[in-house]
Amino acid sequence: MELLERARTISLFGLHADACRQGALPQFDLTEPASSRGTHGKAIVFAPRDVVIGDVRGWLDDPNVRDVPRKGERIATGQPICTVLAVGSDETACYAALVERAEGIYNELI
């Protein structure tokens, strides 16, 4: 749902709430391409080793990093650290952007 909301710049919860209040579904076709906004992706960044989370202010300010842990939180090897989002001109570019964001997270753990 999060990727659909980003690609379409809509709020699915808002559409749901409106449909409940008004008793009607919105008029749009999700099978149509989302214009030329590119390919949207989402990845979970997992801890490569046991880590203690440091300063996360930069992550909190980044709209492409979600599910940010608290400073001082201990995360065991293999557990999720956060979610990263990206958009690229195609699947390859999107994947590369996701990898770059994940590497940025890993670099901050050192």
Query: What are the pLDDT digits (tens) for 16-43?
Result: 888 899 887 777 666 766 555 789 999 9
Residue 38: phi, psi to the nearest 5? 85, -165
Amino acid (one-letter) located at 34: A
If you count DSSP H runs as helices and E runs as strands, how many of each does the chain have, helices first?
4, 5
Rounded average pLDDT over 56-62: 94
Note the pTM of the prediction, 2 decimals. Answer: 0.80
Rg (CA), the chain: 17
Query: What's the pLDDT score for residue 36?
Result: 58
Contact 65, 98 (CB under 8 A): no
Contact 7, 34 (CB under 8 A): yes
Output the six-digit token pair for 94.
């999107």
Query: What's the pLDDT score for residue 34?
Result: 59
Q: What is the dihedral of CA 27, 30, 31, 35, to 10 degrees?
A: 100
